[in-house]
């Protein structure tokens, strides 16, 4: 049986019409070799029963799933490194399907590398296999660390040799499918505003409000902006707590649900370094690690500017001004989550945040970022484990003692999680650049997918151990 009773198709974006999207056809690939399928995610949307052959037909050849509309390339504009680009849109991907998950939320199946569209701008519309592998790794670890993220759903190698100027070529090709709660971008609004179409803005507002923020009343444009601001603040805070650098925080890479997606030059921090950048072309550090909240807020101001076509400026400004307080609140919450402890009140939580960052700053490369959260997960309950582990010699001194005192002021959250075998290991799962390159090197040199599969298995085990909410 190809789909289960949990499969609930609901294609809604194509109903918006030609001002928002264009019908497209997928590329005819010379081969379709299944490299990855996310069966856990598939089960959430009733597609786990697909055979591999059926899976390839739907996510490599893009035969329509039952009840779905034809694929569409979404139209949008965007600021790229704060320079406006009116020549954007889905240039190597499309919206393949929309469907409801078990919790009733609407989900998109969107592609990357599925061929050219009217918005390809002379590109080949393809994705490198390495890019697909990197996106799977990034999304998997982000989910493990509690970041609201799209999930890699499928990766199929397509048998084409691609030429790329920034990596060894020819290189292998693939088509990726991601599962996300929305691909409506800030840039989707920007396109309507650029064309001076308040009617399109109003249509888009109602579409987004009704489908993704139903708690906002009809016609409440500032209320919708407030909801997007709060979701974006949460996302920004979760990136920081995960030590993640997205790399390309343009307005076309932020969406209305506050969910991270489209992973290109991403990096995880090797150690605490506020100015750390992910993209080699980010020469001025615009999207550096510690500047990500600033970048998100700047992008939100561009969204608010679009909404001024249909709402008064003052309440929109008021909604924007909520970002700072929301971000600080969400950052405290994110660090509590990463350290596996309950809140002890705003003042104590802020002290824990401050002392954690101070200790990470002082320890630098000797400690790295991720091991601190692994060693001290659960607070006092992990004392013996942390002080007997490989980094025990680093856990001393005035700054550490301030961190430990602040941590021990907080009660452990679900300490039974520490019984998971993951916490018997000496080191946490990380995705520093050397490991990412090693995983790819095995595939590129020997077509050896075992290190990739093993890494995903370990990340899945860590996800179960931490049991963090996204």
pLDDT greater than 90 at residue 168: no
pLDDT digits (tens, 9 = 90+) for 47-77: 999 999 999 999 999 999 999 999 999 999 9
Instruction: Indicate the pLDDT class of residue 211, thresholds 50, 70 and 90.
Output: very high
Do 409 and 352 form a contact (C-beta atoms < 8 A)? yes
Residue 445: the pLDDT is 96
* Element housing 108 (H / E): strand 106-112
Looking at the chain, the whole-number percentage of residues with pLDDT higher than 70 is 100
Q: Please give the angle made by the CA atoms of 377, 38 and 55, to the nearest 5 degrees.
A: 180
| Residue 287: strand, helix, or coil | coil
Per-chain mean pLDDT for the chain: 96
Among 426, 466, 462, 151, CA closest to 338:
466
Q: What single-letter DSSP state applies at residue 103?
A: T
Q: Which of 342, 348, 350, 373 is nearest to 360 (CA)?
A: 373
Residue 313 pLDDT:
97
pLDDT reported for residue 208: 98
| Helix (H), strand (E) at residue 95 | strand 95-100
Q: Is residue 80 pLDDT above 90, yes or no?
A: yes
Q: What does the pLDDT read at residue 393?
A: 97
Please tell me whether residue 451 adopts helix, strand or coil conformation. helix
Q: pLDDT confidence of 359, banded at 50, 70, 90?
A: very high
What local confidence, expressed as pLDDT, does residue 165 receive?
A: 83
Closest CA to 7 of 43, 40, 32: 43
At 99 the three-state DSSP class reads: strand
Alpha carbons 370 and 362: distance in angstroms, whole number: 15
Cite the active site residues.
Answer: 252
Residue 400 token pair: 């550490």
Identify the pLDDT of residue 358.
98
| Position 136 pLDDT exceeds 90 | yes
Q: pTM of the full predicted structure? A: 0.96
Mean pLDDT calculated for residue range 201-211: 97
Question: d(Cα 50, Cα 58) in Å, to the nearest integer?
Answer: 9
- pLDDT for the residue numbered 470: 53
Per-residue model confidence (pLDDT) at position 3: 83
Query: Residue range 416-428: average pLDDT?
Result: 98
Nearest CA-CA partner of 254 in 241, 240, 227, 235: 235
pLDDT tens string 28-49: 999 999 999 999 999 999 999 9
Answer whether 293's CB lies under 8 Å from 335's CB. no
The tokens describing 302, both together, are 């561009």
Structure-block tokens of residue 70? 């034809």
Is the predicted pLDDT of residue 272 greater than 90, yes or no? yes
Tell me the pairing of strands 106-112 and 127-128: unpaired
Residue range 9-14: mean pLDDT, rounded: 97
Max Cα separation, the chain? 64
Per the listing, tokens 């599925």 go with: 114
E strand intervals along 251-311? 267-268
pLDDT, tens digit, for every residue of 139-167? Answer: 999 999 999 999 999 999 999 999 998 78
Distance CA 191, CA 299 (A): 14
């Amino acid at each position: 049986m190809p789909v289960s009773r949990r499969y609930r198709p609901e294609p809604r974006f194509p109903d918006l019409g030609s001002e928002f999207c264009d019908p497209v056809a997928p590329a005819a690939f010379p081969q379709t070799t299944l490299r990855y399928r996310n069966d856990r995610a598939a089960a959430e949307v009733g597609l786990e029963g697909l055979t591999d052959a059926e899976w390839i037909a739907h996510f490599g050849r893009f035969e329509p799933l039952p009840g779905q509309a034809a694929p569409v390339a979404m139209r949008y504009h965007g600021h790229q490194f704060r320079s406006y680009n009116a020549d954007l849109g889905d240039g190597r991907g499309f919206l393949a399907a929309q469907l409801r998950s078990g919790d009733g939320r609407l989900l998109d199946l969107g592609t990357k590398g599925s061929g050219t569209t009217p918005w390809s701008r002379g590109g080949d519309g393809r994705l490198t296999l390495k890019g697909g592998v990197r996106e799977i790794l990034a999304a998997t670890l982000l989910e493990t660390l509690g970041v609201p993220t799209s999930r890699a759903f499928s990766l199929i190698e397509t048998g084409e040799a691609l030429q790329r100027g920034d990596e060894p070529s020819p290189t292998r090709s693939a088509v990726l499918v991601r599962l996300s709660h929305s691909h409506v971008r800030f840039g989707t609004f920007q396109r309507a505003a650029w064309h001076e179409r308040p009617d399109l803005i109003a249509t888009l507002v109602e579409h987004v409000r009704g489908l993704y923020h139903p708690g906002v009343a009809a016609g409440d444009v500032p209320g919708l902006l407030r909801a997007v601001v709060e979701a974006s603040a949460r996302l920004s805070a979760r990136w920081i707590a995960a030590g993640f650098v997205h790399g390309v925080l343009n307005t076309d890479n932020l969406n209305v649900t506050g969910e991270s997606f489209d992973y290109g030059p991403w990096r995880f921090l090797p150690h605490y370094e506020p100015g750390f950048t992910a993209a080699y072309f980010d020469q001025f550090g615009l999207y550096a690690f510690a500047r990500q909240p600033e970048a998100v807020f700047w992008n939100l101001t561009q969204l608010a500017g679009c909404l001024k076509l249909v709402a008064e400026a003052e309440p929109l400004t008021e909604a924007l001004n909520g970002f700072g307080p929301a971000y600080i609140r969400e950052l405290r919450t994110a660090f509590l989550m990463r350290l596996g402890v309950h809140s002890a009140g705003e003042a104590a939580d802020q002290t824990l945040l401050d002392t954690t960052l101070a200790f990470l700053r002082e320890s630098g490369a000797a400690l790295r970022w991720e091991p601190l959260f692994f060693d001290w997960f659960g607070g006092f309950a992990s004392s013996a484990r942390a002080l007997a582990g490989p980094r025990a010699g680093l856990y001393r001194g005035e700054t550490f003692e301030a961190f430990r005192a602040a941590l021990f002021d907080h009660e452990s959250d679900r300490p039974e999680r520490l019984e998971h075998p993951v916490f018997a290991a000496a080191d946490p799962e990380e995705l520093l650049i050397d490991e990412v390159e090693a995983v790819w090197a095995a595939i590129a040199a020997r077509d050896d997918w075992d290190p990739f599969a093993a890494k995903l298995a370990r990340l899945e085990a860590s996800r179960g151990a931490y049991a963090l909410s996204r």
